[in-house]
Amino acid sequence: MALKQISSNKCFGGLQKVFEHDSVELNCKMKFAIYLPPKAETGKCPALYWLSGLTCTEQNFISKSGYHQAASEHGLVVIAPDTSPRGCNIKGEDESWDFGTGAGFYVDATEDPWKTNYRMYSYVTKELPQLINANFPVDPQRMSIFGHSMGGHGALICTLKNPGKYKSVSAFAPICNPVLCPWGKKAFSGYLGTDQNKWKAYDATHLVNSYPGSQLDVLIDQGKDDQFLSDGQLLPDNFIAACTEKKIPVVFRLQEGYDHSYYFIATFITDHIRHHAKYLNA
């Protein structure tokens, strides 16, 4: 599958690149960002996937989070895809910021008119890793995932739906129980239809209940002054309760004074890179 390089910038001895390709799952052109650390010049490195939140592209994380130094030091290839298909000419795709363009919610849509393009779950868990493994110096056996908000939800569900696929998982302010929050209800009803039992297959809190085994170490950072926490969009307590019941270890850090922004992410990103490096470089 042909990759077209859009940009390349040297950063902490490595290269921050952006590529474009024709996606089979999404039936459109897609961009992804990839950071190749210095170690990638001499051998295969672990792959760490970042999933961004609502309205984001592949650019937000690479320009705002400040992750490059830690990724360079730990020898991690970091991949950041876009958050949805783009330019699919679906009626209503650009009408709201929390549904359609920039809001794929990391599900495989089953409803018209979304089901042909909006297959971000399969893109992130299958097509993109296959593309990365075939074209870059990564070790396919060493892969982890993390994300923010909608992308934190994505990271959690990708891990819980694929036991053993990812060595580690972490999240910043994830949408933990989307079947119960306004964002989730809007997205899931549009992409997955009105049968709420189908929604549970993409809800981290519900997926924990059917997760086999507890070989999982989850790190979550949450800003205490996050408006979406107080608005009931994130619902981390429900996820933590489910994990406690299943004896799945979760480190949940409520960070005093921090909000939902990339200032919050940039503050704690090095902790998350270290968390993943511990498992990926073991």
Active site residues: 149, 226, 260
Q: Which of 227, 172, 174, 165 is nearest to 203 (CA)?
A: 174
Distances (CA, A) of 262 to 40, 74, 96: 27, 22, 22
Contacts of 20 (CB under 8 A, 6+ apart): 3, 4, 6, 29, 30, 31
Secondary structure letter of residue 126 according to DSSP: I
- Identity at 276, one-letter amino acid code: H
- Dist. CA 136–CA 118, nearest whole Å: 26
Q: What are phi and psi of 171, to 5 degrees?
A: -155, 150
Q: Which of 138, 274, 156 is nearest to 211 (CA)?
A: 156
Q: What are phi and psi of 50, to 5 degrees?
A: -110, 130
The answer to whether residues 100 and 89 touch, using CB atoms and an 8 Å cutoff, is no
> For strand 28-36 and strand 77-81, is the pairing parallel, antiparallel, or unpaired?
antiparallel
